[in-house]
Structure 1
């Protein structure tokens, strides 16, 4: 017997607390692809799944998981899609999965900016209840050095909109990203921002530098010195 397959391309991952969720590809790759430390989507060009492809996958899911209650949309940052396209996806989810309770996805801070609070509320009404965001840090010097494409003020402004819209969000903090001597400054700057917000979960991940990343070359040529383990522990504390 040949089983139908879903359209998954490139690197696919989800947070550990989405282990029980049905995965559905909406995008593959990342829209930004400029963060110096990142190698996760190395070699994968950004691609948005056509709605026809999404609908095909939902037909398979309806066949094999007809009572699916939670769906996690995969891709580095599917929230980069426009409000109208996200609403189209939400309507398809409702059409094919009548038992759906909620869905979630990854986002960049900049993906939130084009969407109004009213639009975010509409998406929440369509059962988008959580977003995972890799803010990495709110230390502006580090954000600039790592080419994140936003500043601490953007984190505060955009995540405040999620608070107002009633959409839960989990943030990822990248411990050690500032490099040797910058751990305390990064921690304090990030705490200052997050204390003004209401994240559901603060995930702390320690930086690992892979050879495919641009930052690896800076380590090799000595322009970036990794934060020692003791400093990372102090930063996290």
Structure 2
């Protein structure tokens, strides 16, 4: 009699590491690009690595480099980075109900290390109704965190030999990554309910395009995220 294999879901730290592997190349590519851009923004290798360890936000770190080159005040940099990273609050609020039985420290750890990439993996896992644990989430987040720091460090080393990152399109790397994440995250939903998902996607994209032409990019990110949540909530019929 043949044994029937059962899907136990994602329960261990190692499972989280495995789940993160498909996004590792993205972290390496974007982190490497940031290291090069950081060096060309007059940051040293230690400052680049420390920023990656503390700020840990690809988009906000690229923004910080641009603001530093523009001689923006410290207050302006802090406020802009705060607005750009405010979307992480929405992502953390979405993830927290799944870990309500865990300790406060564990939830803080999950929220602090949550990124766009790891949230995309998390959202896909939830959408596919697969079982997962805190240890899986920790494996996913820690792998991403270490990869990002190492990638930015290596990029900083190479950055001394590249004087014009824009020439190689490195300044566009973050935009390309977000486009890939967007398509990957919605692939599962599109297979289940094509018409509704396409309507949501088109609405969010159009809203983002309009807002970017009316307000600053940092404010547009926040407003577009809120509108996307609103549209998604109204379209969700369960």
TM-score tier after normalising by the smaller chain length: under 0.3
Q: TM-score, normalised by structure 1?
A: 0.26
Higher relative contact order (Cα pairs below 8 Å, separated by 6+ residues): 2
- Structure with more of its chain in helix, by fraction: 2
Q: TM-score, normalised by structure 2?
A: 0.26
- Structure with more of its chain in strand, by fraction: 1
